């Protein structure tokens, strides 16, 4: 085993995270060629995301295994007190015993053989001289722990995350992000945008007054929030940030959406897709009156028939709502698609 930088995974945006979870929802296995098989008929769940304060500093971590000992990392590289990143390696080396206590506790509590695995403790190294324009930049440099990963030496085994929320050592300036403000948001994957304003409002709240800074007696701007959710043993993360901390730099911020308009689109699309229409177009597309069957290669034809019938019969409903066909077509397609799969399962006795 040779020391290598075990990088913390890139934190995505909300939309890409939702798409990743949806792929996992629909994943059912691999075919004979090793290619993924997806079943789009699987119902979309509601996922609970847990949020913690995103601290504006620099990514830092401490790694250990019994063969190579302890080492220190920035986001991309192994660092040392001689070739450092904002003084983190010097700090970590000076507080090696505190980090080793955490690592040994992690190993004991999770039955981890440190002769076969590397344990990496991740956090944000933040404080005076590291970043600007945020409350925590007025505090002494501190390590804010936000994740612990176990990486087996055997590359055939999958690395995994363990519970980190109870590890602290205030005397060594190791604080856990779970010890500050925490948030919970439920996201219905059938209509994920409906949750976006909640993320916006919570991020705006943190941006106005950083809970971490406030905890230590400093009032000022916060960067945003980090969100995590576990689904089928996989961990999903995304971040929501404001822009006040960034100065003139451009950052991807969480956007506010028009929830009233979103709800109007949903209600209008649902109004023009009654069961009788969905059933009628399904019968036509699959030729069910003449002994035909529901086959997935007919799904596209079926959806097109539903939309065509709406345009011929119910265009006035869309106009009265102040919408255009393009506004509701995605929702109409989704409603029709789910009805298709429901009927497929019912008629083949699944």
Which tens digit of pLDDT belongs to each residue from 275-301? 999 999 999 999 999 989 999 999 999
Please count the CA atoms within 13 angstroms of the CA of 202 that sit on its side-chain side: 21
- In tens, the pLDDT along 166-180 reads 999 999 999 999 999
Q: Is the pLDDT of residue 239 over 80?
A: yes
216 contacts 139 by C-beta, under 8 angstroms: yes
The b-or-e profile of 281-299 (16+ CB within 10 A means b, else e) is: bbbbbbeeeeeeebeeebb
Nearest alpha carbon to residue 253 among 20, 57, 54, 59? 54
Is the per-residue pLDDT at 236 higher than 60? yes
Most confident range, picked from 39-48, 105-114, 250-259:
105-114
DSSP 76: S
Q: DSSP string spanning 221-272?
A: ---EEEEEEEETTEEEEEEEE-SGGGTTS---------HHHHHHHHHHHHHT
Over residues 192-212, mean pLDDT:
94
Residue pair 186/194 in contact (Cβ under 8 Å)? The answer is: no
Task: Give bridge partners of residue 60 from the DSSP assignment.
Answer: 123
Chain centre to alpha carbon of residue 283: 40
CB 199 within 8 A of CB 239: no
pLDDT at 347: 74
pLDDT at residue 247 is higher than 60: no
Residue range 175-200: mean pLDDT, rounded: 95
The CA dihedral of 182, 188, 194, 198, to the nearest 10 degrees, is -10
Rounded average pLDDT over 161-190: 96
Please state the pTM of the whole predicted model: 0.81
pLDDT computed for residue 32 by the predictor: 86
Question: Listing from the earlier edge strand, what are the strands of the sheet with 224-231?
Answer: 182-188, 46-54, 224-231, 234-241
Length of the chain equals 350
Q: What percent of the chain has pLDDT over 90?
A: 81
Q: Which long-range contacts (CB under 8 A, 24 or more apart) does 59-62 make?
A: 59/8, 59/122, 59/124, 59/125, 60/85, 60/88, 60/92, 60/122, 60/123, 60/124, 60/125, 60/143, 61/6, 61/8, 61/120, 61/121, 61/122, 61/123, 62/92, 62/99, 62/103, 62/120, 62/121
Give Cα separations from 265 to 8, 299, 317, 321, 332 (angstroms): 39, 23, 11, 9, 10
Q: Are 64 and 72 in contact (CB under 8 A)?
A: no
Q: What is the pLDDT of residue 350?
A: 44
Going by pLDDT thresholds of 50, 70 and 90, the confidence category of residue 243 is confident
């Amino acid at each position: 085993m040779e020391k290598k930088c075990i990088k913390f995974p890139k934190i995505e945006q909300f939309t890409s995270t939702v798409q990743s979870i949806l792929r996992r929802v629909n994943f059912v296995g691999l075919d004979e060629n090793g290619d993924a098989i997806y079943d789009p008929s699987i119902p979309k769940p509601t996922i609970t995301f847990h949020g913690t304060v995103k601290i504006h500093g620099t990514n830092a971590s401490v790694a250990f295994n019994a063969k190579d000992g302890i080492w220190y990392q920035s986001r991309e590289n192994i660092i040392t007190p001689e070739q450092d990143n904002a003084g983190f390696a010097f700090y970590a080396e000076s507080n090696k015993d505190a980090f080793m206590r955490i690592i040994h506790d992690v190993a004991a509590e999770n039955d981890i053989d440190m002769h076969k695995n590397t344990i990496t403790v991740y956090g944000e190294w933040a404080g005076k001289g590291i970043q600007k324009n945020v409350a925590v930049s007025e505090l002494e440099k501190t390590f804010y722990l936000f994740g612990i990963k176990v990486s087996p030496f055997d590359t055939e085994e999958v690395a995994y995350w363990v519970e980190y929320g109870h590890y602290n050592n205030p005397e060594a300036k190791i604080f856990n992000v779970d010890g500050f403000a925490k948030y919970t948001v439920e996201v219905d994957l059938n209509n994920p945008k409906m949750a976006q304003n909640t993320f916006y409002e919570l991020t705006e709240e943190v941006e106005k007054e950083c809970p971490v800074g406030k905890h230590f007696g400093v009032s000022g701007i916060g960067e945003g929030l980090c969100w995590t959710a576990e689904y089928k043993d996989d961990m999903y993360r995304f971040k929501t940030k404001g822009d006040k901390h960034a100065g003139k730099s451009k950052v991807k911020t969480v956007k506010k959406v028009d929830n009233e308009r979103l709800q109007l689109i949903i209600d209008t699309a649902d109004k023009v897709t009654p069961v009788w229409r969905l059933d009628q177009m399904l019968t036509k597309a699959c030729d069910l009156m003449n002994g035909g069957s529901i086959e997935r290669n007919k799904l596209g034809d079926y959806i097109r028939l539903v939309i065509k019938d709406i345009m011929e019969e119910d265009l006035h409903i869309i106009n009265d709502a102040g919408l255009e066909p393009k506004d509701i077509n995605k929702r109409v397609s989704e409603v029709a698609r789910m009805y298709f799969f429901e009927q497929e399962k019912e008629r083949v006795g699944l």
